[in-house]
Amino acid sequence: MMLTAETILSMAENPEVRIGIGTNHNSKKVEASIAVAMEKGYGQVEAYTDPDRMIMDLLEGEIQAAVRGDMGSNEAMGAIKAGFGVERVLRVAALEPRDGNLFFFGPVGIDEGWDLEEKMNFVSLGAELLERLGVEPAVGVLSGGRLSDIGRISVADKTINEAERIVSWGTEQGLDIEHDEILIEKAASSRNLVIAPDGISGNLIFRTLHFLGGGRAMGAPVLNIDRVFIDTSRAKGSYEDSIALASALVGKGLCQEFCL
């Protein structure tokens, strides 16, 4: 099955799912997003102004999923780290470039994906997310140059060598995985999980595709917690599709038994 935004929206018709969304002083666009999402049957959606309260309700099962909305990033990510006891929050963004295919992309946080082990975690956890959605993972690993560029600059050499090691490891795990070098256009057209060289380049790619290129960004599921949390940008005009993504993930069992 090919993953599209429409596929995810069709999975989101779960009117009984309880979803929280963060809001910066009850913003109008969050209120409008809640109204549209509930009208379309994506769930029962409640607004939160306190990130700690939202995460506590998520942990205790009062809500089955949470969406950051336009709540501040530092506050929301800090609440996740404290509540779930994780050092970093690992996210993959659901991106659909204009006239392109939807794929999950990470790392998108500037402090994520800076070592080999963490990038392997992105691959394994991202592949698991796709499998739970009923999609066969096809992973593309990006680096700072082509193989023929080795020797030009040490920073690029490091990313190329790490990408080769990740592909070798992933192949041993039985994954469909390839090193797409610096050719993001190739990866975006043929892969459904794309791994950036590091969090800064990932964040820049995300912003370029979404804010400059007009691509759709549905939100970024957090991979390394056992609850459904969708990170979002405060610049989004509507959070309807992010709420839908949260509902779809709950419906596909991307949380533990308490969610059911």
Give the mean pLDDT of 207-211.
93
Task: Of 59, 68, 65, 102, give the one whose Cα is nearest residue 228.
Answer: 65
CA distance 146 to 154: 13
Domain ranges of the chain: 1-86+225-260, 93-218
The pLDDT, as a whole number, for residue 35 is 97
Give residues with Cβ within 8 angstroms of 72, minimum separation 6: 24, 51, 234
Q: Would you say 179 and 83 are in contact if contact means Cβ atoms under 8 Å apart? A: no
Identify the CATH class of 93-218: alpha beta
130-161 pLDDT, tens digit per residue, is 998 999 999 999 999 999 999 999 999 999 99
The pLDDT, as a whole number, for residue 220 is 97
149-203 pLDDT, tens digit per residue, is 999 999 999 999 999 999 999 999 999 999 999 999 999 999 999 999 999 999 9
pTM: 0.93
At 252, is the pLDDT very low, low, confident or very high (cuts 50, 70, 90)? confident
| β-pair partners for 228 | 65
The pLDDT, as a whole number, for residue 258 is 39
Q: Give CA 125 to chain center in angstroms.
A: 11
Q: Give CA 183 to chain center in angstroms.
A: 21
Classify domain 1-86+225-260 by CATH number: 3.40.50
The pLDDT, as a whole number, for residue 25 is 75
- Token pair listed for 26: 């009850």
CA distance 47 to 52: 13
